[in-house]
């Protein structure tokens, strides 16, 4: 297994990504990716890439401020998955979080919504988010 992962990291770009799982009243906050982006039109738990020298918590707070103009408090790691896309290997880390300050104002995503727990798997999640949801939330 380790040889396989090393091979993928050398040959295929590997990215570490954090995502905020924000739940209020049995609904999850999700955002639709811009059509022009990787996985355009798919829904996702908001977050983004971890920059060099950043902790997971710093990265998720920065991404939420940049993309939604809100401050969040990430609490615990719910789960993580490795997901292989055709052009990259993504290591996704999902954190429970709550909005601590600000009104959600998307700066990059064309749509946002609060999805009911029982509908989350049917809204067209990005593949990695779908696998996480099925394994950890459903």
HEC secondary structure over the chain: CHHHHHHHHHHCEEEEEEEEEEEECCEEEEEECCCCCCCCCCEECCEEECCCCCCHHHHHHHHHHHHHCCEEEEEEEEEEEEEECCCEEEEEEEEEEEEEECCCCCCCCCEEEEEEHHHHHHCCECHHHHHHHHHHHC
- Taken in order 9, 55, 29, 65, the sign of the CA dihedral is negative
Count Cβ atoms below 10 Å from residue 16 Cβ, excluding itself: 15
pLDDT digits (tens, 9 = 90+) for 74-114: 999 999 999 888 878 899 999 999 999 999 999 999 999 99
- Asked whether the predicted pLDDT for residue 9 surpasses 80, the reply is no
CB-neighbour burial class of residue 72 (10 A; exposed 0-12, middle 13-18, buried 19+) = buried
Q: What is the pLDDT of residue 1?
A: 47
pTM, to two decimals: 0.88
Residues 61, 47: Cα–Cα separation, whole Å: 8
What residue ranges define each of the domains in the chain, with the CATH number in brackets?
12-137 (3.90.79.10)
């Amino acid at each position: 297994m380790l040889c396989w992962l090393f091979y993928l990291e050398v040959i295929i770009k590997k990215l570490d990504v954090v995502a905020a799982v924000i739940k209020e009243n049995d609904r999850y906050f999700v955002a639709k990716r811009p059509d022009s982006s990787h996985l355009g039109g798919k829904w996702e738990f908001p977050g983004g890439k971890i920059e060099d020298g950043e902790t997971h918590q710093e990265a998720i707070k920065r991404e939420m401020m940049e993309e939604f103009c809100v401050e969040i408090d990430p609490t615990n790691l719910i789960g993580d998955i490795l997901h292989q896309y055709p052009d990259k290997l993504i290591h996704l880390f999902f954190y429970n979080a709550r909005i601590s300050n600000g009104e959600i104002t998307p700066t990059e995503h064309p749509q946002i919504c609060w999805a009911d727990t029982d509908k989350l798997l049917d809204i067209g999640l990005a593949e990695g988010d779908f696998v996480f949801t099925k394994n950890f939330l459903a």
